[in-house]
A = this chain, B = another copy of it.
């Protein structure tokens, strides 16, 4: 679909290959047509369209260094760097409740390593719990395409075990025991709201 913006600048589609490369820290992304992020974004759009919940992915944080302003065209960012996010990637509201989560995946088949998580994301989750928000992670074992929703309070137990010298991961059995399996659907693909309804009995609170 080639078109031009009214301002005369060419429409430049996001080049899939370039964008995927930018995710090379997470090499399991981009091996399917749809990424975990795509699936979650689609699910959020589904919730939004039906007035179920308002949850958005935060934009990727970028440190902008140089911007050009070509005549009669949109500003072009010519130099910028990826910054580490200081929060989780997704937040929003559902039935009056603040919702906050992060999505991570691993190729590992027997455990979920913590090197996927950043300390400030963990700190952020602690802060959200203190403020009585609903905070969790969506974990994907990409090899088997298994998804789990794990509440942040459970994740923190495993994280603190690591801080106290324990293993640098959660075993898959632990995730299975403490987490909630998400069965991939069609619409929405990842129906995490249904799981929140079950955990927090939100379904009847309207």
A: residues with CB less than 8 A from B are 12, 14-15, 18-19, 21-22, 48, 51, 53-54, 56, 58-67, 69, 74-83, 85-87, 91-98, 100, 124, 127-128, 130-133
Contact = CB atoms under 8 A, between A and B. Distances in A.
A93 B12 contact: no
Q: Per DSSP, are chain A's interface residues mostly helix, strand or loop, or mixed?
A: mixed
A18 B64 contact: yes
Contacts of A15: 65-66
Contacts of A93: 98, 100, 128, 131-133
A96 B22 contact: no
Contacts of A76: 79-81
Given A91-B91, A131-B95, A12 B63 contact: yes
Contacts of A22: 64, 67, 75
Nearest to A61: B59
A59 B62 contact: yes
A96 B64 contact: no
Contacts of A51: 127, 130
A18 B69 CA distance: 11
A14 B63 contact: yes
A25 to B, nearest CB: 10
B66 A18 contact: yes
Contact of A98 (B19, B63, B74, B98): B98
